């Protein structure tokens, strides 16, 4: 277990000390999907969802979640974020929704967890707001698709 940065030599969990790392511009992008019935997509497109503005509410929930990641995920560093953008697009080919989040900061550690949290909570919010009309929904494919900055550099 010595290769894991969050586990000490004694096997105990610890927050990684990033104090000596340089401050760099960092960005992370995460994506995911929520599949649903075609009729559910139509209900959202036509503005007939019982709980109102489904996409706008889920995008806002994702932004709020990114800002609270350190409170939700043990050992995550609280970060000042300069940008959090969450976008949700209907996709008839799924059918369902494609979710994406981009998070930026200038700091000593990356924002991958914040991007993943944003997409996850946005998907959960869609699910919550649509569960009354569709019990077949599935959340999936949540992953980091790109990151930049820091010692390990860019990745996509």
Whether 128 is catalytic:
yes
Element (H, E) at 61: helix 54-67
Q: Which of 10, 17, 91, 128 is catalytic?
A: 128
| Spatial separation of the C-alpha atoms in residues 149 and 106, rounded to whole Å | 9
Q: How far apart are CA 79 and CA 26, in angstroms?
A: 11
Those residues whose C-beta lies under 8 Å from the C-beta of residue 83, and which sit 6 or more positions away, are 102, 103, 104
Using alpha carbons only, how large is the chain's radius of gyration in Å? 18
**Distances in Å between the alpha carbon of 72 and those of 75, 118, 137, 156?**
9, 12, 24, 26
> How many Å apart are CA 116 and CA 83, to the nearest integer?
14
Residue numbers annotated as active site? 128
């Amino acid at each position: 277990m010595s290769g894991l940065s969050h586990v000490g030599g004694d096997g105990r969990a610890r927050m990684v000390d990033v104090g000596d790392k340089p401050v760099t511009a960092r960005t992370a992008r995460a994506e995911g999907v929520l599949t649903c019935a075609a009729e559910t997509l139509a209900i959202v497109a036509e503005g007939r969802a019982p709980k109102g503005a489904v996409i706008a509410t889920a995008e806002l929930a994702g932004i709020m979640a990114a800002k609270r990641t350190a409170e939700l995920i043990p050992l995550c560093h609280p970060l000042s974020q300069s940008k959090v953008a969450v976008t949700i697009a209907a996709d008839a080919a799924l059918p369902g929704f494609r979710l994406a989040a981009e998070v930026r900061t200038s700091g000593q550690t990356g924002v991958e967890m914040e991007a993943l949290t944003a997409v996850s909570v946005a998907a959960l919010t869609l699910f919550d707001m649509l569960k009354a009309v569709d019990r077949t929904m599935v959340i999936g494919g949540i992953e980091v698709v790109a990151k930049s900055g820091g010692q390990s550099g860019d990745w996509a």
